[in-house]
A and B are shown apart, each in its own frame.
Chain A
Amino acid sequence: MPAFPDAYAELEPFADWALPSESDRYAKRLATPMSELQAFYDAVFPRLEDSTDYLKGVPLEGISEQDRNLVWLFASLVTVSFPVEVWRQPRVPDSGASSIDVVVEPGP
């Protein structure tokens, strides 16, 4: 079964970004070179832009697996937007060795 709803078939190559934990999304961002982060952003950002009405029509209660994957993919876009739109590097500048780790997070 495809990871995402039919209308998002072209995002299939990015299915490995559909990660349910913020710590995994952040770790993947740190482990990915800027060129790939940019490519991910360029492909996924326009789809978030044209999907706001669709997403507003997806209740979280009883969400389908494909819609859930789509939420996690867009959550990865949120994480990746910082290096692409602001930092120009995967890490937060001046953050050195510091880390802030999620210990409680909700589902979709």
Chain B
Amino acid sequence: MPHFTKPAEGSWTEHFGLATEPVSYDDSISPEHFELERDAIFRRTWLNVGRVEQLPRKGSYFTKELDAARTSVIIVRDKEGRIRAFHNICRHRGNKLVWNDYPKEETSGSCRQFTCKYHGWRYGLEGELTFVQQESEFFDLDKSDFGLAPITVDEWAGFIFVNFDREAQPLKEYMGRLGAGIEAYPFDKMTQVHKYRAEIGSNWKLFIDAFMEFYHAPVLHAKQATEEESRKLQGYGYEALAYDVDGPHAVVSSWGGMAPPKDLSMVKPIERVLRSGLFGVWDAPDIGELPEGLNPSGHPSWGEDSFLFFPNFMVLIWKPNWYLTYHYWPTSYNTHIFEGTLYFVPPANAYERLQQELAVVSFKEYGLQDGNTLEATQTMIESGAVTEFPLCDQEVMLRHLHRACREYVADHQQATPGTPVRVSAAS
């Protein structure tokens, strides 16, 4: 007997028109399929690369390594205050333009122009080539033909996105109904940032799978709660308050009785003293009214919504007025870089700073368990020993994500007939 109402069809899975039979993970274990995803997904959808607060003034810039799209990009605020994006490559001999010490490490800073380390070519903030070393040695070189290669860039709710498809639909339209529902959230008030990064030994979709279902939480993370509380949680299992999809995007809405808990004996001593934990700081800052897209079922026990904006950007908005983002950047068919970033209203005093620290460290302790489990999953599905896996109704968003990815690949193959399938050199 479900604790929370399910749709009339009897299950979320059938409600969204998804099949109920066991699924295959052959889209997560093959280098060839990953090459298809790079072209069909990562070079054709809007990718979130950061937030406007990372570019506080004219000349502020940061770089982003986008291995999945086979490039590195520079995001910069130009002299007019507009945000621009360029491929991070010098037009002269192809050197990576902006990097420090290690070419593969991301960097950020502030400058008036970009200077190539190799032969000193310089580019203005609008991407124009402004200086060529020994220009007279070149043959009819017109500098206006050799500006940096631009990339389509746009903003949604202060998040900066790029798209490598010149004919991409506008970002606002791409974000759809789920994006519109939370666009008014005061993301700009939450400027206290803790960002984490991990190299994960699994296909990128498997980590999204792990964070778009909470069926695992009472078991994998059992020891995070007190023993008695943990037994109770496993007894209940997990049910979402609601699920929703719009195109390839999705949301899971969850209950959240832990911030603050009903009974202080449910939580650990450090949580009692700091009034904080995985669900956030119990004393929520005042951020005004919440947008309508949150808590879609209107349930009084609502605690958190996890939005997945296709393909790899998650926004988790928590009842105690903070948010978290996840990004999954594939580096091969069975590896990816995970980024988890926590955003809070800046703390006013030392106690509030420590309250936030406990939420941050709790996130890290859980994440370490999740990350390691993924590697264990990847190696075994690659073994091919078992090829079909049953998914329950609380894992509905996994079916939705894998279906969306397959559809993008199929559509792209149809739109570009005769395109040879790239075969990766990776083993």
Binding site for B on A (CB under 8 A): 22, 26, 45, 48-49, 52, 55-60, 63, 67, 70-71, 74-75, 77-79, 81-82, 85-87, 92-106, 108
Contacts and interface: CB of A to CB of B under 8 A. Distances in A.
Interface string B356-370: 011011001101110
Interface in B256-288: 268-270, 273-274
A58 B350 contact: yes
Contacts of B338: 100
Interface stretch (B143-151, B193-201, B247-255): B193-201
Given A55-B351, A60-B349, A103 B195 contact: yes
B368 A95 contact: yes
Contacts of B195: 102-105
Taking residues whose C-beta sits less than 8 angstroms from the other chain, chain B's interface range is: 35 or more
A77 B350 contact: no
Nearest to A76: B357
B239 interface: no
B372 A95 contact: yes
* The 4 A-B residue pairs with the shortest CB-CB distance in the complex, in nearest-first order: A104-B195, A55-B351, A81-B270, A95-B368
B193 A104 contact: yes
A66 to B, nearest CB: 11
B193 A106 contact: yes
Contact of B368 (A48, A52, A71, A99): A99
B347 interface: yes
B335 interface: no
Nearest to B371: A98
B353 interface: yes
A63 B367 CA distance: 32
Given A60-B353, A93-B223, A106-B194, A100 B372 contact: no
Question: Of B198, B220, B274, which is in contact with the most chain A CB atoms at under 10 Å from its CB?
Answer: B274
Contacts of A55: 349-351, 354
